[in-house]
Amino acid sequence: MLRRLYDWVMGLAASRHAPVSLFAVSFAESSFFPIPPDVMLAPMVLAKPEKAWRYALICTIASVLGGALGWAIGYFLRDFGLWMMAATGHTGGLEQFQCWYGKYGVWVILAKGLTPIPYKLVTIASGLAAFSFPIFLVASAVTRGARFFMVAFIVKKFGPTLLPIVERRLALFAGILIALLVIGLTASHFIGGGGHAGACGA
């Protein structure tokens, strides 16, 4: 089923309604749709590199708005939010996220928003954890914008030859960034005198 959805999204990228479809996919992916907008963004930038920044901006705005919907689902419709997380196989992620929120706050959103980890997990969990909505929006705009503009820049500058590498290595690059963030946060935690062991897992 995911393969069919992937192929369908790729087909949308080649249609005359591609920008509208890109907005719709980016919005939906932040709360319930399983295919990331990068799948559309990359081929659209390859086809029309002069519109790379416009497409990245469309992704960013739609993703933040979709993230607001995900946050609202978690905050106002807790049972439905929990059901959605269970339906997508992320039930165990809620306690982990709540623990991370308690220790690292906004850094969790900044780090997770850059990775291929489903952003819907971040948005719904943020609502479930009653994370500050204004801060959530700002963090989402920063991290999602960074991701989409990075993809657009790489594809625009290096073209199709680098696209397979980007798709395979994005998780690795983001993982390195997260590791550096965690190291920095942990170091500041101990320097600041809060060196007690946390209950969060890796």
What pLDDT is stored for residue 69 in this prediction? Answer: 95
Q: Which residue has the higher pLDDT, 200 or 18?
A: 18
Residue ranges covered by each domain of the chain: 2-191
Given a contact cutoff of 8 angstroms between Cβ atoms, the answer to whether 67 and 144 are in contact is yes
What pLDDT is stored for residue 52 in this prediction? Answer: 93
Question: What pTM did the predictor assign?
Answer: 0.75
DSSP one-letter code for 175: H
Distance between CA atoms of residues 153 and 75, nearest Å: 35
What does the pLDDT look like over 95-119, one tens digit per residue? 766 777 767 667 777 766 655 567 8
Cβ count near 31 (within 10 Å): 24
Q: What is the DSSP string of 42-96?
A: HHHHHH-GGGHHHHHHHHHHHHHHHHHHHHHHHHH-HHHHHHHHHHTT-TTHHHH
Distance between CA atoms of residues 79 and 24, nearest Å: 25
Checking if the pLDDT of 196 tops 50, the result is no
Distance between CA atoms of residues 5 and 172, nearest Å: 25
